[in-house]
Amino acid sequence: MGHHHHHDHGHSHPDLKGRNLLISIILNIVITLSQIIGGFISGSLALLSDALHNFSDVLSLIISYGARILGKKKACSNKTFGYKRAEIMAAFVNAATLVVVAIILMKEAVERLVNPQEIESDLVIWLSLIAIFANGFSVLLLKKDAQDNMNMRSAYLHLLTDMMASVAVLIGGLLMMFYQIYWVDAVLTMIIGLYLIYMGYDLLKESTKVLMLFTPKRVIIQDIVDSICTIEKVKNVHHVHIWQLNEDEVHMEAHIDFREDIKLSQFDAILEEIEEHVYHRHGINHVNIQPEFDKCDSKSIIVQD
């Protein structure tokens, strides 16, 4: 059985990511506390809903930070992959909370539309401005890391949507101050909820696919099989599994039938060729091949284990 690895981690230093997450956690704790107090004083549902979302941000950032720490732990005899999936789990949890928070916000908004209340708009405006600047700073801190890491992207989305929610709250506060349009508070809350569902769904779907060991979307198994079969001594490729372990690792295992009973040294040379091919063309960096000759088993490309 041949097993080769390629490692190509073009990411920021983990300590910088951890530092940025910690700064964002502190900022969001301050925002959350101020919005909860301000929401009760002013009577603004949008402000309280923004506080609830900010609280979910704090939880999501703590989960993301904890996942980063776990992800750096080494593998051991009873955890042979270590905690490499910790960040994927964090992304899944954070995406799910985005959707749950959105549903709660929309329910509260409907109740407020039925029973509108007068709101102290001055406090809403000032607190939303503070939240916009604080969340905007956090968004800038995490933006680069969010491009290539699902966990950091989940934290980034929480902060980005909260910044946009704060902008909506600010607009609502200004409309209430100058035009006494108090129902806009509930309408904006509904819009925020819909946007959260929109943003959270894709990430929830993406992280679920990784956790379910689905083949990455960019990988076409038939193309890989066809290209491997062009190698002279290869008869067929079957029993193929391709899955994504985490952001950095895509694994492939397969059985290969050879036309003749080749030497181990010949197999090593062919394995090296396969490994280079699937890495450079398909981004697969862990290849595990089971060589076979004249063996009676299923020759289907996909076999249910």
Confidence of residue 11 (pLDDT cuts 50, 70, 90): very low
Greater confidence (48 vs 208) lies with: 208
Q: Is residue 20 domain-shared with residue 51, that is, in the same domain?
A: yes
Q: Parallel, antiparallel, or unpaired: how do β-strands 234-244 and 250-258 relate?
A: antiparallel
Distances (CA, A) of 19 to 84, 92, 235, 258: 20, 22, 52, 52
Q: Is residue 78 domain-shared with residue 203, that is, in the same domain?
A: yes
pLDDT the model gives residue 38: 81
Cα 56 from Cα 276, distance rounded (Å): 43
C-alpha dihedral sign at 293, 299, 302, 303:
negative
b (16+ CB within 10 A) / e for 29-66: bebbebbbebbeebbbbbbbbbbbbbbbbbbbbbbbbe
Angle CA(267)–CA(268)–CA(269) in degrees, nearest 5? 90
Q: Is residue 80 domain-shared with residue 186, that is, in the same domain?
A: yes
Contact by Cβ (8 Å): 24, 40: no
Q: Is residue 120 domain-shared with residue 234, that is, in the same domain?
A: no
Residue 296: partners with Cβ closer than 8 Å, 6 or more residues away: none
Residue with tokens 């491997």: 228
pTM for the full model?
A: 0.77
pLDDT tens per residue, range 49-71: 777 777 877 888 888 888 888 88
Three-state secondary structure call for residue 248: coil
Q: Is residue 203 domain-shared with residue 252, that is, in the same domain?
A: no
pLDDT tens per residue, range 223-266: 999 999 999 899 999 999 999 998 889 999 999 999 999 999 99
Q: Is 118 part of any domain?
A: yes
Q: Is residue 202 domain-shared with residue 232, that is, in the same domain?
A: no
CATH number at residue 137: 1.20.1510.10
Q: Is residue 147 domain-shared with residue 237, that is, in the same domain?
A: no
CATH number at residue 263: 3.30.70.1350
Q: Is residue 35 domain-shared with residue 147, that is, in the same domain?
A: yes
- Per DSSP, 216 falls in state P
Q: Is residue 134 domain-shared with residue 235, that is, in the same domain?
A: no
Residue 196: partners with Cβ closer than 8 Å, 6 or more residues away: 53, 98, 99, 101, 102, 105, 161
Residue 280: partners with Cβ closer than 8 Å, 6 or more residues away: none
Residue with tokens 């506390």: 33
Structure tokens at 242: 């391709």
Among the candidates 211, 235, 253, a domain finishes at 211
pLDDT tens per residue, range 152-180: 888 888 788 778 777 877 887 788 788 87
Q: Is residue 205 domain-shared with residue 226, that is, in the same domain?
A: no
Question: What integer is the mean pLDDT of 202-223?
Answer: 92
Q: Name the region of 34 (left: φ>0; alpha: ψ -120 to 50; beta: rest).
A: alpha
Length of the chain: 305
- φ, ψ of residue 152 in degrees (nearest 5): -65, -35
Q: For residue 85, which of 250, 205, 245 has the smallest C-alpha distance?
A: 245
Angle CA(226)–CA(232)–CA(233) in degrees, nearest 5? 100
**Tally of structural domains, the chain:** 2
C-alpha dihedral sign at 139, 142, 146, 152:
negative
Among the candidates 211, 232, 247, a domain finishes at 211
Q: Is residue 177 domain-shared with residue 240, that is, in the same domain?
A: no
Q: Is 299 part of any domain?
A: no
Q: Which residues constitute the domain of residue 265?
A: 221-292
Confidence of residue 84 (pLDDT cuts 50, 70, 90): confident
Q: Is 244 part of any domain?
A: yes
Among the candidates 211, 235, 268, a domain finishes at 211
Contact by Cβ (8 Å): 95, 186: no
Cα 98 from Cα 36, distance rounded (Å): 19
